[in-house]
């Protein structure tokens, strides 16, 4: 989970440092993949009994997911290049 969480802002920052929107979008999509990975790991932690509640963390991750999707769409990532 730590790697997934660290990967999200790291990929956003790396993508922002690139020279094109196309590359930025690619790194935003990688960050989005890390969000999905984190959500899966949270679900597994809950199912395996490592925690009693993940609702707040899932809700926060969904908000970040929405923000990333919005930014990807705004930069043109959903309609091609």
* Domain boundaries of the chain, sorted by first residue: 2-74
pLDDT at position 76, please? 85
Q: Check pLDDT > 60 for residue 48.
A: yes
Q: Check pLDDT > 50 for residue 58.
A: yes
Rounded CA-CA distance 79/39 in Å is: 26
Q: Check pLDDT > 90 for residue 28.
A: yes
Give the global pTM: 0.88
**CATH number given to 2-74:** 1.20.1440.60
Q: Which residue has the tokens 């890390």?
A: 34
pLDDT at position 81, please? 43
Eight-class DSSP state of 52: S
């Amino acid at each position: 989970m730590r790697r997934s969480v660290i990967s999200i802002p790291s990929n956003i920052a790396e993508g922002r440092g690139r020279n094109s929107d196309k590359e930025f979008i690619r790194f935003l999509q990688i960050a989005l993949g890390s969000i999905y990975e984190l959500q899966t790991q949270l679900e597994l932690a809950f199912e395996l009994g490592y925690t009693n509640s993940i609702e707040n963390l899932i809700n926060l991750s969904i908000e970040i997911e929405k923000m990333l999707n919005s930014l990807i769409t705004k930069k043109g990532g959903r309609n091609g290049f």
